[in-house]
Structure formats: structure tokens, C-alpha cells
Amino acid sequence: ASLGALLGLHVKNTIADIREDIVGKKVDFSGMSKDRYIEYSIEESIIEKDKYDLLTMGRPEGPKCYCYVNNLLRKYLDKVGTTYPFIVTDNEAGMEHLSRRTTNNVDLLLIVSEPTIVGALTMQRILKLADSLPITIRQKLCILNRVPKDGIHENLQQKLDSLGVGISAIFPFDQEIYDTAACGASIFEISRENE
């Protein structure tokens, strides 16, 4: 859920903020239904750019009951989703937004991890959870990011194999990307020569 920062955007409101405001009764609905408030809030939370729009999911839920609010969110996220050819959902580590069914249909689930044993275990956990959810996920791909130039460590490869986690793509460690991220700069500031 850090895609906004990576794109150099300041995210003011998230889906989680809308949900918390409603569940925490921090909103005066006078003159507006909850349905309309959620629709309005989602529209206001979308950051519009020339080539893309961004709506940030935000943090996972707390201990309160979110069923009603999640049903309303799902309804309006599905509605908003019909206006875009592609939708990327950047979740916190884990699958809370999917397991809470704020999304019904997923064309491609990308699970991106660093090349570690903990990352391999997390990918396996997410794959198992995805298989158990009552939502449609058409394709699932696992990607290793920041892989050293020597490749995947032998112990890690053995662990991936034993867990049944197939890796679809490997992105090598890149010093320029690392330096850009370490300075808090946008991904758009990386040189065009960087492959």
C-alpha cells in the first residue's frame, strides 16, 4: 500500500479511512445516505493523473465488525472498476482486502516478495489463502524482487520447490532503483537508460 509514495503522490484519503470513519461514527450523514456517502468518499479519494488514477486501499481492519461497510465498499468499488480498463490493487503485506471480499473478481494476482525464506513462506500462505477465497482469481503469479546478481540462493530455491511455489519472474537488485527509493523519490525519476 505504498504505491502512491512510489509514484510520487501524496495520498490524503484511503478506503480504510472511509471504512473507519463510518464504523467509528465520525461522520454526520444528515442529508446523505451511507451509500451515497461511501460513493462520494471513494470518488473524492481518487487521485487523478494524466495516464492513471490512484485509489489507495490503506491499512487492514481493526477488531470491529466491518461486514456492512465492506458490502457497501464492494458495491462501489465494483461500480468504479467498470470505468477502467485496468485496476491495480496495492495491498498491505497479506490479503486482508481480498479475504474481506472488498473485491469480487481478480484477473491477475501478483505476489511480489524479496528473495528470503520468510518471503517464500509468505507467498505460499497467500497462494493458499487465495485458493480458499470465494472470489474469482483468474491467474496467480509469484515474483521475486531484488534478487542478487548471483541469482536465487540454493537454500531458497529448495524451499520454494518444497513449498510448491513457482516463480514466474525474477527482478534483479538495481542500485539506481534502490538509491531512488532510499531518497524517497518517485519511480519516475529513474533514468530511461535503466533496464
Residue 152 near residue 170 (C-beta atoms within 8 A): yes
Same domain, 38 and 72: yes
C-alpha cell of residue 96: 486482508
Same domain, 1 and 46: yes
Residue 40 near residue 32 (C-beta atoms within 8 A): yes
Same domain, 82 and 136: no
pLDDT value at 1 more than 70:
no
Same domain, 12 and 48: yes
Of 9 and 87, the structure prediction assigns the larger pLDDT to 9
C-alpha cell of residue 119: 518471503
Number of domains present in the structure of the chain: 2
Residues forming beta bridges with residue 107, ordered by sequence position: none
Residue 44 near residue 13 (C-beta atoms within 8 A): yes
pLDDT value at 83 more than 90:
no
Which residue is listed with cell 498491505? 92
The residue segments making up the domain with residue 168 are 104-187
Residue (of 28, 30, 99) closest to 66 by Cα position: 99
Same domain, 15 and 49: yes
Lowest pLDDT segment from 23-27, 53-57, 92-96, 166-170:
92-96
d(CA 14, CA 41): 9
pLDDT value at 15 more than 60:
yes
Same domain, 68 and 36: yes
pLDDT value at 104 more than 60:
yes
Same domain, 124 and 176: yes
Residue 56 falls inside a structural domain: yes
Q: Which domain-ending residue is among 88, 115, 135? A: 88
Q: What is the mean pLDDT of the chain?
A: 84
Residue 12 falls inside a structural domain: yes
Residue 101 pLDDT grade (very low, low, confident, very high; cuts 50, 70, 90): low
d(CA 15, CA 21): 10
Same domain, 65 and 113: no
Residue 193 falls inside a structural domain: no
Longest CA pairwise span in the chain (Å): 62
Structure letter (DSSP) for residue 8: T
Residue 111 falls inside a structural domain: yes
Which residue is listed with cell 481493526? 62
Q: For position 133, what pLDDT does the model report?
A: 85
Burial class (CB within 10 angstroms; exposed 0-12, middle 13-18, buried 19+) of 86: exposed
Same domain, 122 and 155: yes
Residue 194 falls inside a structural domain: no
Same domain, 67 and 28: yes
Residue 97 falls inside a structural domain: no
Same domain, 82 and 116: no
Q: Which domain-ending residue is among 54, 88, 122? A: 88
Residue 136 pLDDT grade (very low, low, confident, very high; cuts 50, 70, 90): confident
For CA atoms 117, 98, 1, 144, give the dihedral sign.
Answer: positive
Residue 164 falls inside a structural domain: yes
Residue 99 falls inside a structural domain: no
Average pLDDT in the 109-130 region? 92
Residue (of 130, 76, 128) closest to 106 by Cα position: 130
Q: For position 194, what pLDDT does the model report?
A: 81
> Is pTM, for the whole model, over 0.85?
no
pLDDT value at 126 more than 60:
yes
Average pLDDT in the 174-183 region? 91
Residue 110 near residue 171 (C-beta atoms within 8 A): no
Q: For position 96, what pLDDT does the model report?
A: 62
Same domain, 163 and 123: yes
